[in-house]
Amino acid sequence: MAAHSAVLSMSKIINPFWGGRLGNTVKCCTLSSMQLITYEMLMLQPPPAKYGGRHTVTLIPGDGIGPELLNHVKEVFRFSCVPVDFEVVHVNSALESEDDINNAITAIRRNGVALKGNIETNHTMAPSVKSRNNLLRTSLDLYANVMHCQSLPGVQTRHKNIDIMIIRENTEGEYSSLEHESVSGVVECLKIITRNNSLRIADYAFRLAREKGRSRVTAVHKANIMKLGDGLFLQCCREVASGYPDITFDSMIVDNTTMQLVSKPQQFDVMVMPNLYGNVVSNVCAGLVGGPGLVPGANYGRDYAVFETATRNTGKSIAGRNIANPTAMLLAGCMMLDHLRLYDYASMIRNAILTTMNETRLHTADIGGQGTTSEVVQSIMRNIQSKGPLTTDL
Amino acid sequence: IVGLGWFGMQTVTLIPGDGIGPEISSAVMKIFEAAKAPIRWEERNVTAIKGPGGRWMIPPDAKESMDRNKIGLKGPLKTPIAAGHPSMNLLLRKTFDLYANVRPCISIEGYKTPYTNVDLVTIRENTEGEYSGIEHVIVEGVVQSIKLITEDASRRIAEYAFEYARNNQRSSVTAVHKANIMRMSDGLFLRKCREVAEGYKDIKFTEMYLDTVCLNMVQDPTQFDVLVMPNLYGDILSDLCAGLIGGLGVTPSGNIGANGVAIFESVHGTAPDIAGLDMANPTALLLSAVMMLRHMGLHDYGNKIQTACFDTIRDKKVLTKDLGGNSKCSEFTADICRRIQDLD
């Protein structure tokens, strides 16, 4: 953690008015005994609001539908007088140099929180040009990707009553980007599983399950084939599970998991898994609850948090046509507000979104409706105006 | 496509398997007899034995039979936990170099699932990729698994996929990959697919990311036709598609090897709890046998048997327990045989 923010957090601890929801975890300590800062406090501290109680958040528009959706987020936030300022950092995916993404990473280190669209990876370029999104995640060590899939009553789907939390290891596994061509025509790609990261993600999963009152955690793996790699992951999950006797732990092989997900998704509660299986399972679950336009996702690290849509689509084919579904990005914005501890604003906007989705039933094309993006956003803002405390003019 | 043998009858190696294997194999034999299919069965056992040099291998008479007949039909095999020998499927795959795993997933009318009108085929590279089995512990607590992608294997599977599409009147082939992350390995796979696609201009070729395929598959599976992919993605996606149509109990599967060898199999387990009780569902093995007939060019017989099977299931009068009824396996089989004779 940067020294600057540590000092600021120290001053917050000493301030007697700090606390609120987390007051009971605060240990009173002096400046000389910073070691007494508990792990919980370090984890749950949002970045400090610097000037006038306003937060600064990095905004990375990305490609495809990212820019237009993030504009809508800015619009809704300004309308609702949310005390967040956005620092926009553009990343040009067509360039080979990594300066753009390094600037973005520096900005996120500075602000602590980011909201981003997906940056396209042009895989016709040389393999040394790595995926920008992946670079961001690994540089900032955003080790946990969390996604909450819930059936929404206003959306028609084949399966009902789905409520699954997916926690996916976000930095290693198959996404280590370590490849080489030892002999011409033979390529090796390394999948790395480490004990530390597996313990870390399992611990995160169990803590989150306990915090949200969930009863079961399922580890998804393929340890019958990858005995050492996924075997290590599974073993780490079991070790962590033994420290949480109130939560049931079981495991399932990934191909069986996908089969169960399309026939009986209601059996799953919390799922934890390495990187690639997380990619598959999170996309399957997003499809089950209604599609990529509905589910927000969050990437948490020890010091930083980046929010985006759960399925990370660029949406090139629907970009600029005003038909994209703004729900996922707006809900990601609400998750960000929760992270910044602006809970009232978050629930106000979230309720407005869900009202538009479930009661007004104004849907975009991807969930079977005929509304445009702007119509949905306008409806959300009208909803906020009718219920919220203070808004600017529509 | 294999030519017809002596007296117009083609010999096929039959491996009944364990558990419910023998009863579903005899059900399939009965149905083939009713359809008067020109197939002669040669039963063999493939329990692993230790050969010279201490290496595990399948019995020599089974290998000789397969090499001679080229076509095999296999029931479920038990993988004992502490037997010391590797899984039987792995052994068969290595022995005959079965490089392509083909799973057609077609919605079965009468066996309702939330997904309708599914009609796709997953073709999975079966020899390399993530299942190469090469793993090392680098230091304590750090494990590396190696995913191997070679030019030859990728070209071979792509060629098979396009050949299959052409022979079965399929209009498009989609390559499934993650080349945005695994740039070199999946990039190589994709390049080979593109190269092979150049030689098959009558078939539409598209590429799609694995996550996009998963996302679209659970929302609208009707948009997919033939999918070709490396080993791990194939494993996950083929089981996902099997789940769409009703599970492994109704899904056929075929393994294509080099040298013209092809083994068709049911992919469900041995179900030891219902073995010998005449309760098993032979649909998976039967549909695999239909796949086998089509592979051999005997499309008429294949269509006849498939129609009879689907009609029986659609009628819902004599379904086995896993399909929602409470009839016996023999009753189910007899009903299909009767329908075949009526169709003649």
- A258 in reach of chain B (CB within 8 A): yes
d(CA B288, CA B165): 18
CB spacing of A287 vs B219 below 8 angstroms: yes
**pLDDT computed for residue A36 by the predictor:** 40
Q: Is the pLDDT of residue A14 over 70?
A: no
**pLDDT computed for residue A29 by the predictor:** 38
d(CA A336, CA A199): 26
pLDDT 10s digits, A60-81:
999 999 999 999 999 999 999 9
d(CA B285, CA B105): 14
d(CA A48, CA A5): 7
Q: Any bridge partners for residue A305, and if so which?
A: A113, A300
**Percentage of residues in chain A having pLDDT higher than 90:** 69
Nearest to A283 among B115, B147, B214 (CB): B214
In angstroms, how far is CA A167 from the centroid of its own chain? 10
pLDDT category at A388 given cuts 50, 70, 90 is low
Match 């009986």 to its residue by tokens: A264
From A236, which residue of chain B is nearest by alpha-carbon distance?
A: B141
CB spacing of B135 vs A286 below 8 angstroms: no
- Residues 181 through 240 of chain A touching chain B, CB cutoff 8 Å: 181, 185-196, 222, 225-229, 232
User: Mean pLDDT across chain B, nearest whole number?
Assistant: 90
A376: CB partners within 8 A, 6+ apart: A325, A326, A327, A356, A362, A363, A364
pLDDT category at A175 given cuts 50, 70, 90 is confident
Q: Is the pLDDT of residue A59 over 60?
A: yes
**DSSP 8-class letter at B86:** P
d(CA A142, CA A126): 26
Q: Mean pLDDT over residues B9-15, rounded?
A: 92
Q: Mean pLDDT over residues A198-217, rounded?
A: 96
pLDDT 10s digits, B139-165:
999 999 999 999 999 999 999 999 999
Percent helix, percent strand, percent coil in chain A, to nearest 5: 45, 20, 35
User: Mean pLDDT across chain A, nearest whole number?
Assistant: 86
pLDDT category at A212 given cuts 50, 70, 90 is very high
Both tokens of A165, joined, read: 């939390």
Q: Is the pLDDT of residue A34 over 80?
A: no
ipTM of the assembly? 0.89
**pLDDT computed for residue A43 by the predictor:** 52
- A12 in reach of chain B (CB within 8 A): no
d(CA A89, CA A70): 12
Residue from B81, B218, B233, B268 whose CB has the most chain A CBs within 10 Å, to mutate: B218
Nearest to B114 among A159, A186, A194 (CB): A159
**pLDDT computed for residue B85 by the predictor:** 63
**pLDDT computed for residue A42 by the predictor:** 45
Dihedrals φ, ψ of A371, to 5°?
-75, 155
Q: Which residues of A touch B244 (CB under 8 A)?
A: 262
- A159 in reach of chain B (CB within 8 A): yes
What is the helix (H) or strand (E) element at residue A36, kind and residue range?
none
From B183, which residue of chain A is nearest by alpha-carbon distance?
A: A127
Q: Is the pLDDT of residue B252 over 60?
A: yes
Nearest to B142 among A185, A192, A226 (CB): A192
Rounded to the nearest angstrom, the minimum Cα separation between A229 and chain B is 6
d(CA A147, CA A137): 16
Match 């990370």 to its residue by tokens: A312
Residue from A122, A283, A288 whose CB has the most chain B CBs within 10 Å, to mutate: A283
**pLDDT computed for residue A2 by the predictor:** 43
Contact A296, A331 (CB under 8 A): yes
**Percentage of residues in chain A having pLDDT higher than 70:** 85
d(CA A218, CA A264): 15
d(CA A323, CA B146): 42
CB spacing of B211 vs A130 below 8 angstroms: no
Q: Is the pLDDT of residue A235 over 90?
A: yes
Nearest to B211 among A190, A280, A288 (CB): A280
d(CA A137, CA A108): 11
Q: Is the pLDDT of residue A46 over 80?
A: no
Rounded to the nearest angstrom, the minimum Cα separation between A39 and chain B is 24
Q: Is the pLDDT of residue A391 over 80?
A: no
d(CA B211, CA B181): 12
Nearest to B182 among A174, A196, A291 (CB): A174
Q: Mean pLDDT over residues A372-377, rounded?
A: 94
**pLDDT computed for residue A123 by the predictor:** 77
**pLDDT computed for residue A290 by the predictor:** 92
Q: Mean pLDDT over residues B327-336, rounded?
A: 92
Residue from A162, A194, A226 whose CB has the most chain B CBs within 10 Å, to mutate: A226
The pTM (predicted TM-score) of the whole model is: 0.87
Q: Any bridge partners for residue A384, and if so which?
A: none
- State the DSSP string of A286-340: HHHHT-TTT-EEEEE-SS-EEEEETT----GGGTTTT-S--HHHHHHHHHHHHHT
pLDDT category at B212 given cuts 50, 70, 90 is very high
Q: Mean pLDDT over residues A318-327, rounded?
A: 93
Q: Mean pLDDT over residues B123-148, rounded?
A: 90
